[in-house]
Structure 1
């Protein structure tokens, strides 16, 4: 048996190889894809392969355990309550930003960008095929969690407009086109500039997404406002499809300018979207207006651009602050980090969770904030 002071050549080489491999890993945020994949039933053949893989993993774990039991136990780091999910946001259902989201685009380039025990009321289920009014079977649908982007404000003293992400659960068709149509339709309904506009169809090809809209939308006050409103549709469509920063083209009857400002012939992407297009704070779960079962602990997850990664929070009931504190995000500004706050089990009632960041100068000025109201029953 080797010891930490006298490792064998094989053990030393194994450790060096593992360390080198770990340094090469660059995690990315693909929560949209994970939530969508989790909602799909596992085929029998895939289940067998998964079980086989688990057997191999178990054997590997046994070998690794034999190597590491010879080492003295390292100092234990901070512990979390038993059963608390990892604070690391699962990387946004297929392409969503990593701790530092690729500066996405709204012109002609290429893309990216959180889950809680208090998931939106609906949860993944097996596909269903309800009968249609004509008596013919309707297309199979599945309840999935979709990331919906809308134009909101940053809150605080930097109350600039920007993209806000919110998750919702919905029964949608299994195809990429059906997922994109449902998600973009919801994004359109959350915007004043797109009032009355619907998605006629969403065509997803190998290298492009084409959204056919019923109209060009209202005339925006300026090109920046129009680009932001289009960005909400682009990020939503790409998140629903889950195949990276596919260029998105908008098509309207007559081919006029989009929102009275933008050329419809130009494909839009995330890659050239300025970083400030995203609001500093997102609260991904609980979703606004969601109902959480009283028996379930409430885990708040989100993303933040925060000085020294410090995110402050409050839990309110009406005008009363029940609890407050702070949490350290996975990385500090100017990068975008993830954070999680375990609120535990709450008594039935309506609550508002407030996340905010304060000025680095005196800590008194609120730079950005996000409020989410949810119900426990």
Structure 2
């Protein structure tokens, strides 16, 4: 029996043309799909969904509950596509070596170098932690207040991945506390990166995590002399907020801060009566430094047998970046790069340096001023090729 053409076709179609058009449409759809480069919008969607209330009976100017299923659909689509977006991609792209130490302290530790990481670190224990009392090395995302590299200077938040040895099965509250301890101890980065120490001498008390809120109890409200300006004080609070939210990897959960169990005024001026949170992704420039160098990581040692690819995030004018690679203070290579999107959005950039001889290098990524070409913002990262 011959294949029957659908009866609903327009009389102008020739026999078999419906099948041909279907094949062409499927081919075109597949081609266009491959060109799609999704932007990091999940954090903004989740933020809007979290802020939305119930739909009004009239469907008028009430808040939009429909954003919640949209956010869920976006999450499902991301998982199907093999991508999971957190607020600012607070998951490391490398795994530290597994450890055997059993002690958990409340003082910051020195990061353990990782020579050839290839897998994404997770909070799930590996086979190396199956023995009772053993630990695993975990990379904790930690935020610090630092200068962005302009002449003023201007301060914003930078993210570092700090290695800690934690016992297998450590709960999320302990992970948040460990990350906050690191955030309040910026000493080891201050000399090399100029990170401020607004929480110097601070002690992190009880930490609680629920689906709706993270609670952090501090020993003191902070020394105003350690945070000289209103903006630095604001960013000092935000570094705790971003660090706690990154540690739980569960979106923009509000953070409530207390001092010895009670509300207070941090640094003498910032009230803790209301919880704090990070801005949506479209306004992350309010808190985050314009340029980050994400890879190579601080403790990564790229092999000379493979090309070195510098990756990062940027919020810069017209998505335009300049870069320079130096070795021993002498310029080795330089060029320009483009972020995936321009300001005020935050985009990704990539710089392929090719294979490099063994040695110590520093990559500087800069936003040239649109006014006079001077440095509007800069981020650097030193690394060793072996």
Structure of greater Rg: 2
- TM-score, structure 2 as length reference: 0.65
- TM-score, structure 1 as length reference: 0.66
Structure 2 runs not aligned, ≥5 long: 1-16, 44-79, 98-111, 187-195
1:369 equivalenced with 2:378 (yes/no): yes
Q: Distance in 2 between matches of 1:332 and 1:298?
A: 25
Counterpart position of 1:217: 222
Q: Distance in 2 between matches of 1:188 and 1:332?
A: 32
* Structure 1 residue 152 displacement after superposition: 0.8
Q: Is the 8 A contact 1:29 1:97 kept in 2?
A: no
Q: Secondary structure at the match of 1:156?
A: coil
Candidates 260, 279, 296, aligned match of 2:289: 279
Q: Is the 8 A contact 1:158 1:368 kept in 2?
A: no
Q: Distance in 1 between matches of 2:338 and 2:94?
A: 17
Counterpart position of 1:193: 198
Q: Distance in 1 between matches of 2:317 and 2:126?
A: 43
* Structure 1 residue 145 displacement after superposition: 3.0
Q: Distance in 2 between matches of 1:374 and 1:118?
A: 16
Counterpart position of 1:8: 20
In the comparison of the two structures, how many residue pairs are matched?
Answer: 295
Candidates 326, 329, 345, aligned match of 1:335: 345
Q: Is the 8 A contact 2:96 2:138 kept in 1?
A: no
1:123-202 equivalence runs, <5 A? 123=117, 124=121, 126=126, 128-129=128-129, 137-138=132-133, 141-157=135-151, 159-173=153-167, 174-190=170-186, 191-202=196-207
Task: Give the direction of change, closer, same or farther, for the CA distance of 1:361–1:116 in structure 2 (3 Å limit).
Answer: farther
Task: Give the direction of change, closer, same or farther, for the CA distance of 1:288–1:158 in structure 2 (3 Å limit).
Answer: farther
What's the C-alpha RMSD, in Å, of the aligned pairs? Answer: 3.7
Q: Which has the higher contact order (CA 8 A, sep 6+)?
A: 1
Candidates 236, 245, 249, aligned match of 2:243: 236
Q: Is the 8 A contact 1:212 1:251 kept in 2?
A: yes
Task: Give the direction of change, closer, same or farther, for the CA distance of 1:23–1:338 in structure 2 (3 Å limit).
Answer: closer
Q: Secondary structure at the match of 1:177?
A: helix
* Structure 1 residue 209 displacement after superposition: 0.8
Q: Secondary structure at the match of 1:356?
A: strand
Q: Distance in 2 between matches of 1:168 and 1:239?
A: 12
Task: Give the direction of change, closer, same or farther, for the CA distance of 1:181–1:21 in structure 2 (3 Å limit).
Answer: same
Counterpart position of 1:121: 113
Task: Give the direction of change, closer, same or farther, for the CA distance of 1:141–1:95 in structure 2 (3 Å limit).
Answer: farther
Structure 1 runs not aligned, ≥5 long: 32-56, 58-89, 99-111, 132-136
Q: Secondary structure at the match of 1:243?
A: coil
Counterpart position of 1:252: 259
